[in-house]
């Protein structure tokens, strides 16, 4: 029996559990617009990565994730880790239903699924760069692909706290958690190596972007271009806590690069090393990974994305 054309991976817990509740309505709309699909739900963390391998083993080449930036990252990793189908033959998109929906902002994918689903079958195909980051966790080196933004220092620390607390459900909640944890955070020194330059400092934040939005619409890497074959890097030195608060508006309008203690780069590779006893935390696409040492490279135009 022939497979349906589309393989849909659903995070039932997306939108605080709403995704599972409205799935019948979404399925009805998918059928109405003529998308022949099979849906599989995730049951645990990183399950989407496993489901991609299962789907490609059966020959699926068109994949849709339904959820937020977390499942987006899991599916992207699944696409690159599976060995069943060449990555260049796979087409991927997201029906955004998450807390931040940051990756979909870059591709201008509507958060209203009633507007996006009728467009998917004839959507525009673009090639996007993908980041590959190595990190340390409990003395072992791990690797993670990412489609959006990697963050270190306070960003990594905050994601670690997010995984522990779960006391936010939208971008306003994320901003509140950001400010609440700020005064508990202690800056840690690190060494950033970009091309022939080395920067040793105590960093408030280090961001590495394929795309430009993170944290529910914040722009720490406003110079990121998703298909230019380069990593956009932003590093912020030892800002005071009050300076961070007073400049928080810059996170949203893309003017963060105008601050005197903020530097930005475009590069093919960036390395961040531990200085002293305390390693620096790292996250990708909102998922906490571990700590430095970190090495990040870019895979140029590596994945075909469907967008309006």
Q: Is 216 contained in some domain?
A: yes
Percent of the chain with pLDDT over 90: 75
Q: What confidence score (pLDDT) does residue 249 get?
A: 78
**pTM, two decimal places:** 0.93
* pLDDT reading at 193 higher than 90: yes
Q: What confidence score (pLDDT) does residue 285 get?
A: 94
H/E segment holding residue 27: helix 18-32
Separation of alpha carbons 133 and 284, rounded Å: 9
Q: Is 252 contained in some domain?
A: yes
CB count within 10 Å of CB 231 equals: 25
Do 103 and 43 fall within a single domain?
yes
- Two tokens at 34? 């003529």
Residue showing tokens 């030892």: 238
* pLDDT reading at 156 higher than 90: yes
Last residue of a domain, one of 101, 122, 143: 122
* pLDDT reading at 28 higher than 60: yes
Q: What confidence score (pLDDT) does residue 229 get?
A: 98
Q: Tell me the pLDDT band of 41, cut-offs 50, 70 and 90.
A: very high
Do 152 and 284 fall within a single domain?
yes
pLDDT in tens, 161-182: 877 765 555 556 666 777 778 8
Strands (E), 20-148: 37-41, 62-67, 91-96, 124-137, 140-146
Q: Is 305 contained in some domain?
A: no
Q: What confidence score (pLDDT) does residue 273 get?
A: 98
Q: What confidence score (pLDDT) does residue 29 get?
A: 97
* pLDDT reading at 1 higher than 90: no
Q: What confidence score (pLDDT) does residue 227 get?
A: 98
Do 116 and 165 fall within a single domain?
no
Do 108 and 143 fall within a single domain?
no
Q: What is the dihedral of CA 298, 7, 111, 115, to 10 degrees?
A: 130
Give the N- to C-terminal CA distance of the chain in Å, as an integer.
Answer: 32
pLDDT in tens, 48-103: 999 999 999 999 999 999 999 999 999 999 999 999 999 999 999 999 998 889 99
Read off the DSSP letter of residue 279.
P
What phi and psi values does residue 116 have, to the nearest 5 degrees?
-85, -45
Q: What is the mean pLDDT of the chain?
A: 93
Most confident of 42-51, 163-172, 182-191, 238-247: 42-51
* pLDDT reading at 251 higher than 70: yes
Q: Tell me the pLDDT band of 148, cut-offs 50, 70 and 90.
A: very high
Q: What confidence score (pLDDT) does residue 141 get?
A: 97
On whether the CB atoms of residues 149 and 221 are closer than 8 A, the answer is yes
Which domain does 33 fall in, by range? 6-122
Do 232 and 163 fall within a single domain?
yes
Separation of alpha carbons 51 and 44, rounded Å: 11
Q: Which of 219, 205, 197 is nearest to 271 (CA)?
A: 197
Separation of alpha carbons 101 and 155, rounded Å: 17
Residue showing tokens 């531990």: 274
Do 160 and 40 fall within a single domain?
no
Report whether the peptide linkage leading into residue 293 is cis, meaning its omega lies within 30 degrees of zero. yes
On whether the CB atoms of residues 72 and 42 are closer than 8 A, the answer is no
Coil vs helix vs strand at 234: strand
Last residue of a domain, one of 91, 122, 153: 122
> In this predicted model, which residue has the larger pLDDT, 183 or 223?
223
Q: Tell me the pLDDT band of 15, cut-offs 50, 70 and 90.
A: confident
Burial (CB count within 10 angstroms: exposed 0-12, middle 13-18, buried 19+), residue 199: middle
Read off the DSSP letter of residue 109.
-
Coil vs helix vs strand at 264: strand
Q: Is 308 contained in some domain?
A: no
- Positive or negative torsion for Cα 276, 278, 284, 286: negative
H/E segment holding residue 189: strand 188-194
Mean pLDDT to the nearest integer, 231-259? 86
Identify the weakest region by mean pLDDT among 104-113, 177-186, 230-239. 177-186
Residue showing tokens 């690159």: 80
């Amino acid at each position: 029996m022939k497979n349906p054309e589309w393989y849909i991976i659903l995070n039932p817990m997306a939108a605080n559990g709403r995704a599972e509740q409205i799935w019948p309505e979404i399925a009805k709309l998918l059928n109405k617009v003529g998308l022949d699909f099979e849906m599989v739900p995730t049951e645990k963390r990183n399950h989407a990565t496993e489901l991609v391998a299962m789907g490609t083993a059966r020959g699926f080449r068109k994949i849709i994730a339904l959820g937020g930036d977390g499942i987006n990252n899991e599916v992207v990793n699944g696409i690159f880790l599976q060995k069943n189908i060449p990555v260049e033959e796979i087409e991927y998109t997201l029906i955004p239903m998450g807390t931040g929906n940051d990756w979909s902002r870059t591709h201008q994918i509507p958060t209203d699924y009633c507007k996006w689903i009728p467009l998917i079958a004839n959507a525009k195909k673009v090639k996007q760069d993908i980041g590959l980051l190595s990190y340390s966790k409990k003395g072992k080196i791990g690797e993670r692909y990412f489609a959006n933004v990697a963050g270190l220092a306070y960003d990594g620390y905050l994601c670690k706290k997010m995984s522990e607390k779960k006391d936010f459900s939208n971008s306003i909640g994320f901003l509140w958690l950001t400010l609440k944890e700020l005064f508990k955070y202690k800056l840690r020194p690190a060494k950033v190596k970009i091309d022939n330059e080395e920067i040793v400092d105590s960093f408030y934040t280090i961001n590495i972007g394929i795309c430009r939005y993170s944290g529910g619409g914040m722009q720490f890497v406003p110079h990121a271009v998703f298909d230019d074959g380069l990593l956009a890097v932003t590093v912020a030195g030892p800002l005071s806590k009050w300076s961070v608060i007073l400049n928080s508006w810059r996170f949203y309008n893309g003017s963060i690069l105008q601050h005197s203690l903020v530097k930005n780069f475009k590069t093919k590779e960036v390395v961040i090393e531990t200085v002293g006893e305390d390693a620096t935390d790292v996250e990708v696409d909102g998922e906490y990974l571990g700590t430095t040492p970190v090495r990040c490279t870019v895979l140029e135009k590596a994945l075909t994305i469907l967008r309006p």
